[in-house]
């Protein structure tokens, strides 16, 4: 495909313009960098699995580890380098696993430790690495540490959690909570304990008491837990709610956010607080540097390669994100999530352009980890779709994800275009936060519905007579792996093609991003340039109307393009002067010459 009839003419034209012509074959990589043990993560494709919803092997309605193992070939075909499993440890499941009662075991609902070992072995056979979720901010209230802690004020575990006296407490009344801090799931973040007559702090549900990270014993406990799983061969962790480890030692109130008229901003009936006393406090950097030092010790013969730390890092700006990488002397995360880009939540060309530029420029040599979707947010259709062109829009979004210089993380089902399907009635809600705020907020069940494998009963998530823990959306009859596999026009094939390019095309896998045609408010375009290969041009129509872009003079000289990937129905452009894009169309092409700088 690369060697077209026009090639001879282009060589002549390129030589006249003082450009250099690449040697045959220089365009593609012979060894994908993902196979390099030290830097496998730098251009890697990560896939988030919500085990409860991925595949159910024993027909109890809940997905499990054996179900994941059974689908590893699918993930391999897709081009996934690593899977991140949301928590599968023993848990009362109030927050579906984010309330952990034992950090060194597998919840029987998901299988056994032998199933876990088998999953790792089978994944590794396919060069797929396994990452776990590390929840260090809080435990379950049924964890043995908390059971001890709440048992008496003198218990040695008392200061493993954050306990405080109430304000104005009397012998008969708890008084007021120590301050105005709120739980992320609504209401006060303080829970009164009648037995020991103090409040404990919980950033999330009351069944998720926050650990006290000022206690060195807590540090040691997590170093041991991390070592336990690294010895088993896990390739790293995604650190949950990591920016909320510390709280203001003086326990000061948080300010109420005000709108431009000076009135409090309300969210679900409660004033919104600025969270400066409970989020992103500096202590987290010390902890992460310490944990990273622990992880860096592990590189066994059995599972060689860098162990990677991914951070759940919702932060206000790129400068704060940069801090999460740490320093060369004290590294922290290799891949703190860049939530700046993925959660813009509207197709705004200028916002995307400036945020992608930030990631490219302000993060220096660090690798951005782009992510657009997860188990806590409505899926892509609900945040970016228009109800008419959702699949086309999902092509646009996935192109930003895979065609940028980054490591890419996506959520199960995005690759087939699964849609947000919130519960139909309050009785159906499983996520407690959805019950609390129904109907203004229906909780997170809508983005956690079973993976759609087939058009058949229960979408192949489990057996035909089983009852999945959340209902299978009716659109599974058309949106499913079986139907989309092998269809050249499907979203699944689009994902596969993008990932293939990310792995095989040097410019695509290593090239720096530079925005071009930067005055355009309808089409987002950038080029990827790596030494020794011609640049790749990526251009995305962010509108429902057809667009034509002229990239000559907008950062590139004139020339012909070799099409690498385009949306169905798009035409191969004759030149950079007129790239025609349909509604939400995407075009990716590689120049047939190298640019001289």
Question: Of residues 48, 64, 150, 240, which one binds ligand NOJ by CB under 6 A?
Answer: 240
Tokens matching residue 13: 């034209």
CB of 244 to ligand NOJ, least distance (A): 9
Residues 6+ apart with CB under 8 A from 516: 525, 526, 527, 537, 551, 554, 555, 556
Q: Is 141 near ligand NOJ (CB under 6 A)?
A: no
Q: Is 241 near ligand NOJ (CB under 6 A)?
A: yes
Q: Is 132 near ligand NOJ (CB under 6 A)?
A: no
CA distance 510 to 15: 26
Q: What is the H or E stretch that residue 466 is in?
A: none
CB of 312 to ligand NOJ, least distance (A): 6
Residues 6+ apart with CB under 8 A from 250: none
- The catalytic position among 56, 107, 247, 312 is 312
Q: Is 98 near ligand NOJ (CB under 6 A)?
A: yes
Site for ligand NOJ in 376-405 (CB under 6 A): 376
CA distance 192 to 445: 29
Specify the 3-state DSSP secondary structure of 549. Answer: strand
- The catalytic position among 99, 115, 150, 240 is 240
Q: Is the peptide bond before 267 cis (omega within 30 degrees of 0)?
A: no
CB of 137 to ligand NOJ, least distance (A): 7
Answer yes or no: 240 catalytic.
Answer: yes
Q: Is 135 near ligand NOJ (CB under 6 A)?
A: yes
Question: Of residues 204, 222, 298, 469, which one binds ligand NOJ by CB under 6 A?
Answer: 204
| Residue 392 near residue 398, CB atoms below 8 Å | no
End-to-end CA distance of the chain: 27
- Of 60 and 376, which has the nearer Cβ to ligand NOJ? 376
- Of 95 and 275, which has the nearer Cβ to ligand NOJ? 95
Q: Is 48 near ligand NOJ (CB under 6 A)?
A: no
- Of 183 and 306, which has the nearer Cβ to ligand NOJ? 183
CB of 61 to ligand NOJ, least distance (A): 20
Instruction: Name the closest residue to ligand NOJ (Cβ).
Output: 98
Question: Of residues 95, 210, 513, 517, which one binds ligand NOJ by CB under 6 A?
Answer: 95
Strand-pair category, 536-541 with 523-529: antiparallel
Tokens matching residue 400: 């930003």
CA distance 583 to 546: 5
Answer yes or no: 294 catalytic.
Answer: no
CB of 211 to ligand NOJ, least distance (A): 12
Q: What is the H or E stretch that residue 291 is in?
A: helix 283-295
CB of 426 to ligand NOJ, least distance (A): 20
Using CB under 6 A as the binding criterion, the count of chain residues that bind ligand NOJ stands at 9
Tokens matching residue 86: 């949301």
- Considering only CA atoms, which of 98, 80, 186 is closest in space to residue 136? 98
Give me the active site residues, please: 240, 312
Binding site for ligand NOJ (CB under 6 A): 95, 98, 135, 204, 240-241, 312, 375-376
């Amino acid at each position: 495909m690369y060697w077209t009839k026009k090639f001879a003419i282009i060589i002549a034209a390129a030589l006249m313009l003082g450009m250099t012509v690449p040697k045959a074959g220089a365009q593609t990589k012979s060894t994908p960098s993902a196979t390099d043990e030290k830097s496998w993560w730098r251009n890697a494709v990560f896939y988030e699995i919500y085990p409860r919803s991925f595949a159910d092997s024993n027909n109890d309605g809940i997905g499990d580890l054996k179900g994941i193992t059974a689908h590893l070939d699918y993930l391999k075909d897709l081009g996934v380098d690593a899977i991140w499993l949301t928590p599968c440890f023993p848990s009362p499941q109030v927050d579906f696993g984010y309330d952990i009662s034992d950090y060194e075991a597998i919840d029987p609902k998901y299988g056994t430790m032998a199933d876990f070992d088998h999953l790792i072995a089978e994944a590794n056979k396919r060069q797929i690495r396994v990452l776990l979720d590390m929840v260090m901010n809080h435990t379950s209230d049924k964890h043995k540490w908390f059971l001890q802690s709440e048992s008496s004020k003198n218990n040695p575990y008392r200061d493993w959690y954050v306990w405080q006296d109430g304000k104005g407490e009397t012998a008969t009344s708890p008084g007021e909570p120590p301050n105005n801090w709120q739980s992320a799931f609504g209401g006060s973040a303080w829970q009164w304990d009648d037995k020991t007559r103090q409040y404990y702090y919980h950033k999330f549900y009351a069944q998720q008491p926050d650990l006290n990270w000022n206690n060195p014993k807590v540090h040691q406990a997590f170093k041991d837990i991390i070592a336990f799983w690294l010895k088993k061969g896990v390739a790293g962790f995604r650190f949950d709610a990591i920016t909320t480890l510390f709280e203001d030692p003086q326990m000061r109130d948080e300010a109420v956010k005000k709108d431009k008229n000076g009135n409090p901003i309300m969210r679900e009936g409660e004033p919104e607080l600025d969270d400066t006393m409970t989020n992103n406090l500096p202590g987290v950097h010390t902890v992460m540097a310490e944990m990273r030092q622990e992880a860096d010790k592990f590189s066994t013969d059995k599972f060689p390669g860098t162990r990677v730390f991914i951070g759940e890092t919702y932060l206000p700006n790129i400068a704060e994100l940069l801090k999460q990488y740490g320093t060369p002397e004290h590294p922290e995360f290799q891949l703190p999530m860049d939530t700046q880009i993925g959660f813009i939540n509207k197709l705004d060309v200028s916002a995307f352009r400036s945020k992608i530029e930030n990631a490219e420029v302000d993060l220096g040599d660090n690798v951005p980890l782009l992510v657009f979707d997860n188990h806590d947010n409505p899926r892509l259709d609900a945040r970016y779709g228009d109800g008419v062109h959702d699949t086309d829009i999902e092509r646009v979004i996935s192109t930003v994800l895979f065609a940028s210089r980054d490591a890419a993380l996506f959520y199960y089902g995005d690759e087939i275009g699964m849609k947000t399907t919130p519960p139909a009635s309050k009785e159906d809600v499983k996520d407690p936060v959805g019950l609390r705020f129904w109907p203004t907020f229906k909780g997170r069940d809508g983005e956690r519905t079973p993976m759609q494998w087939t058009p058949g009963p229960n979408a192949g998530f489990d057996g035909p007579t089983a009852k999945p823990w959340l209902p299978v959306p009716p659109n599974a009859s058309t949106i499913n792996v079986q139907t989309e596999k092998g269809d050249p026009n499907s979203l699944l094939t689009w994902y596969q093609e993008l990932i293939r390019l990310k792995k095989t095309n040097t410019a695509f896998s290593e090239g720096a991003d530079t925005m071009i045609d930067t005055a355009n408010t309808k089409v987002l375009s950038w080029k990827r340039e790596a030494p020794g290969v011609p640049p790749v041009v990526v251009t995305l129509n962010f509108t429902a109307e057809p667009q034509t872009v002229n990239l000559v003079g907008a950062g590139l000289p004139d020339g012909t393009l070799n099409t690498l990937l385009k949306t169905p129905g798009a035409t191969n452009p004759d030149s950079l002067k007129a790239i025609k894009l349909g509604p939400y169309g995407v075009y990716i092409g590689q120049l047939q010459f190298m640019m001289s700088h």
